[in-house]
C-alpha cells in the first residue's frame, strides 16, 4: 500500500478580469450605500483602496502581500475606535464591516475568495436597511444585488464572457423570479417581538427637537425635509393658523438657553383646562430617541403608555426608538390655567441678572407707558417686529453675550427661535408671565392619503403669555414678521433663501410621493409580530401562532415548487441547440473524411479528428473542451455560452486530412 504524504495540493486558478470587475463594482455599490452612515474620510479612503486594487490586479494576478494587509487591518480598526470610541453598535459596526469587505478584496484571487466576498457584500447591503427602510432605499439595495448576482453567474464553469448589460439583465430576471418566494417568506416566517440584533443607536433624535433652545439651534432642523409625523383627523383638519403641535414648554432661561423643566415639575398636576371645542386625531410619529410626544395645541388627556405633564405636554413611558401611532383629543379653543398660583407666576417672570439690559429696559418702559393694560404691551411687542425693520432669514448674523440685545437693536434678522425668545423676554421684563413653546407648525395636507404631513422643517417656536381671565394664550411673534410662515408653511417663509432642490415643484413632488412612503411604512416596515399574529383574523383565526405560520409556509413553498415543476414539465421543450451545433461540426468534419463512428463519444471523436487534422489541432481541442464543459457541467448550459459555441463552429473551416 502506497501512502503519499507529500502530494501537492491542487492549486485553484485565479478568477478572470470580468469576475474581478463585477466584484469591484459590487463593493463600490456597498461603499456608496453606506456613505452617509460612515465618516466621509473613511468612504474616500475605501474608494481609493478599491481603485488601487483594481488597477494592481489589471497589471498582474496575485493578492496583496501580507505586510500591507495586516497594517491596513490594524489601521482600520484603530480609526473606527478613535472615531466612535468602540467597535460595537450600529454605526461603528457598519463602518468596520464595510472596511473589512474592501480589505477582503486585497486577497481575493480564487473563485472561493470571490464567493466569500459576494456573500459578505450582500450582508453589508442588507445592513444599510438598519438606517433607512423607505421604499426607495430598499429598491436601491435591490439594485446593489444585481452586480453581486452577475458575479456569481460569471463564476459558473464554462461561462462565456457576455456584455455587461446582458449579465445585469439576467441578474434582474433572477431577482424577479425570486420575488414570489420572498413575499411568501416575508409574510409567513415568524417574526421576533424585537430585533435579533440589540445594537445601540446613535442616540440622535431623528426629528431634532431638543429639551433646550437657543437662537440658531434650529438651523439644521429647518433645512431637513424628512417626515417628522403624519396626522389624520376624524373630521376636517384644522385651518393652518391652528396647526400648532406642542412638544416642549420651556420656563428656564439663563441668558442664552431656554430649557425644559420637565423633571422638576413632573409630579405636579396638569394645568386646569376649560375646553370649548375639541378635535380627534391620530399621529404616526417617526423615531426620535426621545420621550416627548407632539400633540395638537392642548391635549385633553394622554394616550396609553404616556403621561400628561403640568404644562399639558405628553411624555411617553419609554424613548421613541421605533415608529409609534397614538390617538388623542385636543382643544382648539380653550382657557388654560385661568388662575395662576404665586409659584408659577414667579417662574414665568424670572430673568437672569446682568444679561440683555437694553431688552429689559424696553420691557420696563412698555409697562410704564401702558400701565396695567397687558394686551397693549403684547400689541407693542408684535408691532416692534412688524414695523421695526426685522427680517426672517435662515442665515442670521451671529449674536454675542447679550444675544437678545444684539438681535433687537443691531442685527434685526433671524427665525422663529430668535423672535419667540426675544418676545418672551420682553414680556417678562414688562411683568407679564411668559414662556417659550417648541414643536411644529403647519404641514402639508395630502388629500389623496387624507393626512397632514409634518416635516422636520416645520419645527417652530412660539410664546405663551398669561392674561387674567384668559389663562395662557399663544402668541406667535414670527407671524408678525413673516405671516407666510403660519399660513403657507416653512418653505414659503424662507422664500428665495431656499436651495433649488427645495423649490416649489420639487416640494410638491416630495409631498405627493410621501403617500407611497406611508403605504410602504404601514404595509412593509410596520408589519411586525403583532400584525402577523392577526394575519388570519378575516378568516376567523384571531391569533396566528408559530405552528400555524410554519404550516402555511410549508404549504406555500410546496405550492410554488409544484407550480415551477409543472411549468418546467408542461412547457414546450425547444430543440437542443448545443446538439445542433455539434451535428454541424460533425458534418464539416465528415466532409473532410472524419466521420463519427457508431457509439463513439464526443471526446474520443474530437480527439481523433484533431489527430487527423493536425493543422487545426488546437482549434479542435478548444471546441472539444468547450463542448464537454457545456454538456456535462450544467443541467442546462447557459444560453450565451451555447451561442458562442455555435459561432465557433460556424467559423470553423476544416483543412485536408493528414494521411
State how beta strands 391-392 and 413-414 pair.
Answer: parallel
Distance between CA 422 and CA 405 in Å, rounded?
9
Kindly name the residue from 113, 217, 402, 416 that is annotated as catalytic.
416
Annotated catalytic residue within 217, 402, 405, 476: 476
CA angle at 278 for the pair 316 and 322, rounded to the nearest 5°: 25
Q: State yes or no: is 460 an active-site residue.
A: yes
Q: In what order do the strands lie in the sheet with 292-293?
A: 292-293, 314-316, 306-308
The answer to whether the beta carbons of residues 374 and 429 sit under 8 Å apart is no
DSSP 8-state secondary structure symbol assigned to residue 110: B
Using left for φ > 0, alpha for ψ between -120 and 50, and beta otherwise, residue 545 falls in beta
Q: Residues 34, 37, 418, 460: which is the catalytic one?
A: 460
* C-alpha cell of residue 335: 382657557
To 5 degrees, how large is the angle CA 406–CA 409–CA 413? 70
The residues, ordered by sequence, that sit 6+ positions from 515 with a Cβ below 8 Å of its Cβ are 446, 448, 449
Look-up of cell digits 454605526: 91
Kindly state the cell numbers that stand for 98: 464595510
DSSP letter for each residue of 195-224: -S---------SS---SEE-TTTTHHHHT-
* Helix or strand holding residue 233 (H, E): strand 227-233
CB neighbour burial string for 538-574, b if at least 16 within 10 angstroms, e if fewer? eeeeeebeeebbeebbeebeeeeeeeeeeeeeeeeee
C-beta atoms surrounding 274 within 10 Å: 12
Helix (H) or strand (E) holding 626: helix 617-632
Residue 287 CA to residue 274 CA, distance in Å, equals 32
Gyration radius from the chain CA atoms:
35
**Residue labelled with grid coordinates 400555524:** 548
Only one residue has cell 403608555, namely 305
**Burial class of residue 67, CB neighbours in 10 A (0-12, 13-18, 19+):** exposed
Distances (CA, A) of 137 to 32, 126, 143: 12, 10, 10
- DSSP annotation string for 373-417: -HHHHHHHHHHHHHHTT-EE-SSPPP--SSHHHHIIIII-EE-HH
Q: Residue 5 in 3-state DSSP?
A: coil
Q: How far apart are CA 582 and CA 605, in angstroms?
A: 11
Neighbour tally for 396: CB within 10 Å: 19
Residues 6+ apart with CB under 8 A from 323: 284, 285, 286, 287, 521, 525, 526
Q: Are 449 and 428 in contact (CB under 8 A)?
A: no
Q: Looking up cell 477582503, which residue turns up?
A: 104
Question: What is the tally of helices (H) and strands (E) in the chain?
Answer: 24, 18
Catalytic residues, which ones? 416, 460, 476
Amino acid at each position: 500500500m502506497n501512502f503519499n504524504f507529500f502530494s501537492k495540493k491542487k492549486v485553484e486558478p485565479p478568477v478572470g478580469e470580468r469576475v474581478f470587475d463585477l466584484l469591484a463594482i459590487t463593493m463600490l455599490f456597498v461603499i456608496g450605500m453606506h456613505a452617509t452612515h460612515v465618516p466621509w474620510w473613511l468612504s474616500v479612503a475605501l474608494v481609493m483602496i478599491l481603485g488601487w486594487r483594481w488597477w494592481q490586479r489589471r497589471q498582474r494576478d496575485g493578492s496583496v502581500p501580507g505586510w500591507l494587509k495586516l497594517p491596513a487591518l490594524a489601521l482600520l480598526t484603530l480609526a473606527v475606535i478613535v472615531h466612535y470610541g468602540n467597535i460595537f453598535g450600529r454605526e461603528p459596526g457598519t463602518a468596520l464591516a464595510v472596511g473589512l469587505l474592501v480589505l477582503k478584496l486585497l486577497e481575493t484571487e480564487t473563485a472561493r475568495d470571490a464567493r466569500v466576498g459576494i456573500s459578505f457584500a450582500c450582508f453589508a447591503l442588507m445592513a444599510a436597511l438598519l438606517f433607512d427602510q423607505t421604499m426607495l432605499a430598499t429598491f436601491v439595495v435591490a439594485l446593489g444585488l444585481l452586480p453581486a448576482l452577475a458575479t456569481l453567474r460569471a463564476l459558473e464553469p464554462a461561462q462565456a464572457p457576455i456584455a455587461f448589460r446582458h449579465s445585469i439583465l439576467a441578474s434582474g430576471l433572477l431577482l424577479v423570479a425570486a420575488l414570489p418566494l420572498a413575499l411568501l417568506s416575508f409574510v409567513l416566517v415568524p417574526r421576533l417581538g424585537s430585533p435579533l440584533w440589540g445594537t445601540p443607536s446613535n442616540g440622535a433624535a431623528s426629528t431634532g427637537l431638543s429639551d433646550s433652545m437657543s437662537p440658531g439651534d434650529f438651523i439644521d432642523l429647518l433645512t431637513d425635509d424628512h417626515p417628522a409625523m403624519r396626522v389624520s383627523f376624524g373630521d376636517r383638519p384644522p385651518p393652518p393658523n391652528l396647526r400648532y403641535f406642542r412638544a416642549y414648554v420651556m420656563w428656564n432661561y439663563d441668558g442664552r438657553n431656554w430649557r425644559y423643566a420637565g423633571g422638576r415639575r413632573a409630579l405636579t398636576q396638569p394645568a386646569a383646562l376649560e375646553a370649548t371645542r375639541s378635535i380627534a386625531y391620530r399621529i404616526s410619529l417617526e423615531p426620535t430617541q426621545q420621550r416627548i410626544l407632539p400633540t395638537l395645541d392642548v391635549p385633553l388627556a394622554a394616550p396609553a403608555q404616556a403621561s400628561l405633564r403640568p404644562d399639558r405636554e405628553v411624555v411617553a413611558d419609554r424613548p421613541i426608538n421605533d415608529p409609534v401611532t397614538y390617538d388623542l383629543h385636543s382643544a382648539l379653543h380653550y382657557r388654560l390655567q385661568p388662575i395662576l398660583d404665586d409659584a408659577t407666576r414667579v417662574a414665568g417672570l424670572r430673568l437672569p441678572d446682568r444679561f440683555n439690559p437694553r431688552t429689559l429696559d424696553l420691557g420696563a418702559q412698555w409697562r410704564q407707558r401702558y400701565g396695567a393694560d397687558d394686551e397693549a404691551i403684547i400689541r407693542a411687542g408684535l408691532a416692534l417686529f412688524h414695523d421695526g425693520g426685522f427680517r426672517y432669514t435662515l442665515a442670521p448674523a451671529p449674536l454675542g453675550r447679550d444675544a437678545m440685545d444684539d438681535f433687537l437693536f443691531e442685527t434685526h434678522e433671524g427665525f422663529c427661535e430668535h423672535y419667540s425668545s426675544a418676545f418672551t423676554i420682553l414680556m417678562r421684563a414688562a411683568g407679564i408671565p411668559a414662556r417659550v413653546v417648541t414643536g411644529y407648525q403647519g404641514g402639508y395636507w395630502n388629500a389623496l392619503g387624507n393626512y397632514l404631513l409634518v416635516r422636520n422643517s416645520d419645527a417652530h417656536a412660539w410664546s405663551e403669555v398669561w392674561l387674567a381671565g384668559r389663562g395662557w394664550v399663544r402668541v406667535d411673534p414670527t407671524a408678525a414678521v413673516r405671516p407666510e410662515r403660519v399660513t403657507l408653511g416653512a418653505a414659503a417663509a424662507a422664500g428665495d433663501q431656499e436651495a433649488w432642490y427645495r423649490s416649489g415643484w420639487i416640494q410638491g413632488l416630495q409631498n405627493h410621493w410621501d403617500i407611497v412612503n406611508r403605504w410602504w411604512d404601514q404595509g412593509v416596515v410596520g408589519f411586525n409580530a403583532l400584525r402577523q399574529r392577526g394575519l388570519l383574523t378575516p378568516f376567523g383565526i384571531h391569533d396566528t401562532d408559530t405552528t400555524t405560520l410554519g404550516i402555511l409556509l410549508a404549504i406555500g413553498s410546496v405550492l410554488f415548487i409544484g407550480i415551477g415543476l409543472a411549468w418546467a414539465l408542461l412547457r414546450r421543450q425547444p430543440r437542443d441547440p448545443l446538439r445542433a451545433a455539434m451535428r454541424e461540426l460533425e458534418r464539416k468534419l465528415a466532409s473532410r473524411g472524419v466521420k463519427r463512428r457508431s457509439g463513439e463519444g464526443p471526446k474520443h471523436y474530437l480527439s481523433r479528428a484533431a489527430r487527423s487534422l493536425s493543422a487545426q489541432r488546437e482549434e479542435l481541442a478548444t471546441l472539444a473542451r468547450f463542448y464537454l464543459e457545456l454538456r456535462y457541467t450544467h443541467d442546462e448550459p447557459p444560453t450565451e455560452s451555447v451561442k458562442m459555441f455555435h459561432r465557433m463552429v460556424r467559423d470553423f473551416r476544416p483543412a485536408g486530412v493528414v494521411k
